[in-house]
């Protein structure tokens, strides 16, 4: 067996949701470098245009579409268009996500539903749309972007933690239900990664000192730093490639060691 070749994504079509920037963009960049054709969607045309420009700057010819992952009709339309214009999706990465940091007793049910809709129902709708063609083809990879909050709770992120914990179980269920069709569904649980989503947690204080949450994360991470979107590249390629064909229903935490560590004593 040529083990290096088993990591190649040559000839594969990868669809990464919400991948105009941030973690999704880096995963797509890694897939392109590993040989895959890149398809992504985002919530509006401005973001898609921004993404297309960023891919072009990296020398990647990506296909970008506007699609809200919570809208089943547009998702079905998206998959039909991709199959017509590009081909059958071999790799789906459910990356699109939102967070609302609000104490639970102050959170409206509408905001709760919105987070669950984007972060949990979206991946269900997307996976449901690609699985039939994967079954027909006899193979497929689905990667769900989970979180530290798939395992841990913290103040203000009740809906996000419920959604990401649910996404972990959806991952295991897709594995259970479609593993016999040579479909592998795994999750990646990023630790604290420096992207716009976490920018408010890293904002400098008025006196120029670190945000208390920033210092907290540095103390809680054995690696002693925030992750960068590039830290997800290798793990994402592994889970999309034939190198992981017997890995199914697993959540790969890419967190600099946070989940292994009780934290620095004060």
Residue with smaller CB distance to ligand GCO, 157 or 239: 157
CA atoms of 71 and 2, how far apart (whole Å):
42
Question: For residue 104, what are the CA distances in angstroms to 81, 156, 201?
Answer: 40, 6, 18
Q: Counting contacts by CB under 6 A, is residue 198 touching ligand GCO?
A: yes
Q: How many residues bind ligand GCO (CB under 6 A)?
A: 13
Residue 70 CA, distance from chain mean position: 15
Out of 65, 160, 178, 253, pick the active-site residue.
160
Q: How many CB atoms lie within 10 A of CB 205?
A: 10
98 vs 243, which CB is nearer to ligand GCO? 98
Told to judge if 160 belongs to the known catalytic residues of this protein, a careful annotator would answer: yes
Which 14-33 positions form the footprint of ligand NAP (CB under 6 A)?
17-18, 20, 22-24
Q: How far apart are CA 82 and CA 139, in angstroms?
A: 18
Backbone φ and ψ for 15, nearest 5 degrees, come out as: -110, 120
What is d(CA 56, CA 58) in angstroms, rounded to the nearest whole number? 5
Selected from 196, 208, 260, 262, the binder of ligand NAP by CB under 6 A is 196
Residue 28 or 99 with smaller CB distance to ligand GCO: 99
User: Can you tell me the distance from the alpha carbon of 29 to that of 40, in angstroms, rounded to the nearest whole number?
Assistant: 11
Q: Which residues from 36-95 bind ligand GCO, rule CB under 6 A?
A: none
Tell me how many residues contact ligand NAP (CB under 6 A): 27
In degrees to the nearest 10, what's the CA dihedral of 235, 233, 25, 115?
30
Question: Which of 53, 58, 154, 264 contacts ligand GCO by CB under 6 A?
Answer: 154
Q: How many CB atoms lie within 10 A of CB 93?
A: 29
Q: Does 174 bind ligand GCO (CB under 6 A)?
A: no
Instruction: State in angstroms the smallest separation of the CB of 20 from ligand NAP.
Output: 5
Does residue number 148 form part of the binding site for ligand GCO (CB under 6 A)? yes
Q: How far is the CB of 114 from ligand GCO (least distance, A)?
A: 16
Q: Within 13 A of 195's CA, how many CA atoms are on the CB side?
A: 22
Which of 34, 36, 39, 96 binds ligand NAP (CB under 6 A)? It is 96
The DSSP letter of residue 13 is E
- The nearest distance, CB 103 to ligand GCO, in angstroms, is 12
**Least Å from the CB of residue 109 to ligand NAP:** 18
Regarding 96 and contact with ligand GCO (CB under 6 A), the answer is: no
The reply on whether position 145 binds ligand NAP by CB under 6 A is yes
189 contact partners, CB below 8 Å, separation of at least 6: 146, 147, 148, 150, 151, 168, 251, 252, 253, 254, 255, 259
Q: Which residues are catalytic?
A: 160
Q: Please give the residue ranges that form the binding site for ligand NAP (CB under 6 A).
A: 17-18, 20, 22-24, 42-43, 47, 68-70, 95-98, 118, 122, 145, 147, 190, 192-193, 195-198
């Amino acid at each position: 067996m040529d083990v290096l070749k088993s990591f190649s994504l040559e000839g594969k079509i990868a669809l990464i949701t919400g991948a105009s920037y941030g973690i999704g963009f880096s995963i797509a960049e890694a897939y392109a470098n590993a040989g895959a054709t890149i398809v992504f969607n985002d919530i509006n045309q401005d973001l898609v245009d921004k993404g297309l420009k960023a891919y072009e700057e990296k020398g990647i010819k990506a296909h970008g579409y506007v699609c809200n992952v919570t809208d089943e009709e547009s998702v079905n339309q998206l998959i039909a268009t991709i199959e017509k214009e590009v081909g059958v999706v071999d790799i789906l990465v459910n990356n699109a996500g939102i967070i609302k940091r609000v104490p639970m007793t102050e959170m409206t049910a509408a905001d709760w539903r919105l987070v669950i809709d984007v972060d949990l129902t979206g991946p269900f709708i997307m996976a449901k749309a690609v699985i039939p063609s994967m079954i027909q083809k006899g193979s497929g990879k689905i990667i769900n972007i989970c979180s530290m909050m798939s395992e841990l709770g913290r103040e203000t992120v009740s809906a996000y933690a419920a959604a990401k914990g649910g996404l972990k179980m959806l991952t295991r269920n897709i594995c259970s239900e479609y593993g016999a069709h040579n479909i592998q569904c795994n999750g990646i649980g990023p630790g604290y990664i420096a992207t716009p989503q976490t920018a408010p947690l890293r904002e400098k204080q008025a006196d120029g000192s670190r945000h208390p949450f920033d210092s907290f994360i540095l103390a809680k991470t054995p690696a002693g730093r925030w992750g960068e979107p590039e830290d997800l590249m290798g793990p994402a390629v592994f889970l999309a490639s034939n190198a992981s064909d017997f890995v199914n229903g697993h959540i790969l935490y890419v967190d600099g060691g946070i989940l292994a560590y009780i934290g620095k004593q004060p």
